[in-house]
Amino acid sequence: MSDKLLQAQVAFACFIDRIRKSEFGQGSAEYAGVIVVAVILVVALASSASDWGQNMANEIGNRIAKIFSFGG
């Protein structure tokens, strides 16, 4: 009985260890971060150029807010 319990504990510990060390989805998060930084730079440059840039900056900001809002 104790051997089976020990095997179950070891298997569970190995399973938890694999979950903690997993980097599944990390690449997607890094790409999203790079895209956000690039968009911020483009918006900053365009908004300083003209009224058209300011309108574009506002629209992009609204779209980003819509993407990251969880309600809609």
pLDDT of residue 1: 52
Q: Which of the four pLDDT bands, split at 50, 70 and 90, describes residue 12?
A: confident
Statement: residue 2 has pLDDT above 70: yes
Q: In the chain, what are the domain boundaries?
A: 25-72
Taking each continuous run of H as one helix and of E as one strand, the counts in the chain are 3, 0
Quick check: helix, strand or coil at residue 18? helix
Match 């807010």 to its residue by tokens: 65
- SS3 of residue 50 by DSSP: coil
- Using the predicted structure, report yes or no on whether residue 19 has a pLDDT greater than 60: yes
- The stretch 11-39 carries a mean pLDDT of 79
Please give the Cα distance from 53 to 2 (Å, whole number).
70
pTM here is 0.41
| Residue 36: both structure tokens together | 């956000």
pLDDT tens track for 49-70: 677 777 777 888 888 888 777 6
